[in-house]
A and B are shown apart, each in its own frame.
Chain A
């Protein structure tokens, strides 16, 4: 009786699931204590009701965007600590010294680093920024499906909690961030680590797919009057390209993860060695998602650069049509190159050559974009604010990554550097300068719109320089190490190889990047502290060009008092030049708050947790709960409410009065 009860409600869970090693135990205690402190503070200050009504149940994309960014920044700190641990291990684990971490811990650390940085940092920042900016840029108040937008966020968060829970209960995958079988199969990874990986990505991935569809429909349906596709801001275009990729690529991920889970949980043989399974199929499938994923991340970042360069050069974006075509070419080509991640599998010269050439073709539209940005600056009046420092860092570093990328696109060269630290250096160059710098630049650029005050410029510039210099110190040595024959993911190497000095330099680089992150946190803290002196009273702190700058900062929840009408590409700039001001009041329909998304997020967490630990009853309860929640939601006939024009006017006047009070600080 007790036995069957335990199997139903505990599955594989037992006391042994709690961490044994000192490092993981410390992390687990840290996470639990951190959570307790937050909960205590919320209770002490009676903030639960506020949190629930203002944030947890909100369907306002601006608030959802802020929550995405908060989660992503927290995950940046987690993934960053993983990176520091890796650098530490590789700097000291030479010869007779085995370093601070055991091979198994180290392998969990780098698997977690890659997974967290891509899924929960880069994707989180991307969806956060899109939520904050896209609807306003389109002259819209909201996304197409506000409920689904909130649901996406809570699924993302549910996956995030699950992946971090692996530190406290059980273990994480030690199979690398893409968990190739046979290593990730039950035979070689019998623990719950790979299951944690599968389910945190599965749940977050479903959220991403819904976001992708949501933003795609938003762009197609929610553009304001007069905004044809070719009058959209370039950021909206790049999001459009990226979300097409999400809609096509994420289903592949969902299926692949499901098949791997079926192998592990039900003893099927999709990817096993033997019994008819084929691991090569997994490698193909995961990269058929994985390669487009890179462009999913980089395209919105390109869009951000397009906005920033035009604004800070006080010039129209150069080659708008070229840029659109370049995005289209990248979207198409990104689905034709996945095999370049495994030329060394032995597919043969014809296949390798075709994929190699397809890969190089991507360099053409990407190069075009860089030249268009440079010529946006040409004959401009460039202000080198911190977003521009990020941009210039991007231009110089991204090109070096492009060169090494073209080298590796030649299969015969790739045979020599594949899976080496040369490759690690290459893709970090692309992702850090191409994606991360772009998102940081975007946050610096748009946070005044969100927060209502500007960030500290000096600290922002120091942070950018720390990242740029730290990046070069951390990753250029890895190129050389790769040429010396150093494989990625080594937890130990021989002293006679002479690699240690370069690993130490890389470690110093990581420390400089950490200093950059500290500056960024400091920048935020100082800016909040000095918020009264830093208020943006105009709503247009940068002399912007697109519609989001036409509304006050922070953006009111109704965004536009009356939806704008567009006749030009840079409508707000054109309005300013003509001395025109769009305005007026109208009745506004807005979504009501709903607790259903966060509840579904919680239930999907139960499904994931149940599936990981084989507590099937819990998984079924969670699944039934989700279905029930969706049925209840679909019974709700009034998910929206009307804000009358009169009420909008009253709110506007109150806001104006408040502005006058702030103006005292000026």
Chain B
């Protein structure tokens, strides 16, 4: 086959592939590309900007690679009517080398500034600017389920977190077992859940909906069966949910917590109508000071 035909074939195959992939993906939910929260949206914009900067370098590089590979083939030296240069001792050029040290330095320089600023602006520990009072949810990773404690509302739930739309949510995250990672792709970002540590994630849903939550760090036997859901509802919907949770028969006292903390997976959504005061704090602190705390 001639090179021209080969390239044509590659182009056709490529186009067919991309079209099939595009058709398939247009019918799927891709939470990171379709964020439902401001953090996720800003992260996506950042990703697209960084991608654009990278593509500015990559496309010419690919083009140069293809052109050089085609033009300076051995066969081309012999067949081509145009004379193709062969210069076996051409091994340095201050100009060329300055270009490919220089351009990446400039691009990475720009990206470094963006990185510095975005690391601070999108720091998951930074509270989101809002005129609404944030909702605090304490998240505990257990073997193998997620416990969500609403300290103000005095309710708790397992494997489902209900949040109001348009209200910043302060997640405080810890683990009472193996380390895990608390990730809600549609809202943006994740943070490790570690025993004896209290990490934070500030997020806000801008749309109602039900979002997949993912345990993003391997945590033993039941790790694949501890996914959770985050449901964003209107403020009235959220209030109704809290009311519903308060009707639950079970309360999260020390005994119930100990039972819950025992290994189990595929745990259905469960509500608790009351939560022992300071439970989250006890869970974090028990690794620090083993003598104190009720959650022993």
Q: Which of B122, B178, B188, B195 has the most CB of A within 10 A?
A: B178
Which of B65, B97, B222, B224 is in CB contact (< 8 Å) with A396? Answer: B65
Closest CB of chain B to A504's CB: distance in Å? 12
Is A368 on the interface with B (CB-CB < 8 A)?
yes
Is A594 on the interface with B (CB-CB < 8 A)?
no
Interface residues on B, range: 35 or more
Nearest chain-A residue to B187 (Cβ)? A416
Per the 8 Å Cβ criterion, residues 334-349 of A in contact with B are: 342, 344-346, 348-349
Closest CB of chain A to B109's CB: distance in Å? 9
Contact A413/B46 with A315-B91, A346-B199 known, Cβ cut-off 8 Å: yes
Asked whether B72 lies within 8 Å of A381 as measured between CB atoms, the reply is: yes
Chain B residues contacting A413 (CB-CB under 8 Å) are: 43, 46-47, 50
Asked whether A363 lies within 8 Å of B125 as measured between CB atoms, the reply is: no
Interface residues on A, range: 35 or more
Query: Hey, what's the 0/1 contact readout for B80-98 against A, CB within 8 Å counting as 1?
Result: 0000011111111100110
Is B15 on the interface with A (CB-CB < 8 A)?
no
Is A597 on the interface with B (CB-CB < 8 A)?
no
Asked whether B89 lies within 8 Å of A357 as measured between CB atoms, the reply is: no
Chain B residues contacting A411 (CB-CB under 8 Å) are: 115, 118-119
Is B135 on the interface with A (CB-CB < 8 A)?
no
Asked whether A357 lies within 8 Å of B179 as measured between CB atoms, the reply is: no
Closest CB of chain A to B254's CB: distance in Å? 18
Asked whether B290 lies within 8 Å of A382 as measured between CB atoms, the reply is: no
A138 to B112, CA, bound (A): 40
Is B132 on the interface with A (CB-CB < 8 A)?
no
Chain A residues contacting B221 (CB-CB under 8 Å) are: 103-104, 107
Which of A313, A368, A490, A497 is in CB contact (< 8 Å) with B100? Answer: A368
Asked whether B179 lies within 8 Å of A183 as measured between CB atoms, the reply is: yes
Which of A103, A273, A357, A416 is in CB contact (< 8 Å) with B115? Answer: A357
Chain B residues contacting A280 (CB-CB under 8 Å) are: 194, 197
Query: Hey, what's the 0/1 contact readout for B165-201 against A, CB within 8 Å counting as 1?
Result: 0000000000001110101011011111011110110
Asked whether B43 lies within 8 Å of A416 as measured between CB atoms, the reply is: yes
Asked whether B119 lies within 8 Å of A352 as measured between CB atoms, the reply is: yes
Asked whether B104 lies within 8 Å of A364 as measured between CB atoms, the reply is: yes
Asked whether A410 lies within 8 Å of B72 as measured between CB atoms, the reply is: no
Is A361 on the interface with B (CB-CB < 8 A)?
yes
Residues of B within 8 A of A (CB): 21, 24-25, 28-33, 40, 42-44, 46-47, 50-51, 54-55, 57-58, 61-62, 64-65, 68-69, 72-74, 77, 85-93, 96-97, 100-101, 104-105, 108, 111-112, 114-116, 118-126, 177-179, 181, 183, 185-186, 188-192, 194-197, 199-200, 212, 214-225, 227, 286-288, 290
Residues of A within 8 A of B (CB): 103-104, 107, 174-176, 180-183, 188, 273-275, 279-280, 313-322, 342, 344-346, 348-350, 352-353, 356-357, 360-361, 363-364, 367-368, 370-372, 374-384, 392, 395-396, 399, 402-403, 406-407, 409-413, 415-420, 480, 482-494, 497-498, 501
- Could you jot down 16 A-B contacts, CB within 8 Å? A273-B195, A274-B196, A274-B290, A279-B179, A316-B88, A348-B123, A353-B116, A360-B111, A364-B105, A368-B97, A382-B73, A403-B54, A415-B190, A416-B188, A484-B30, A485-B32
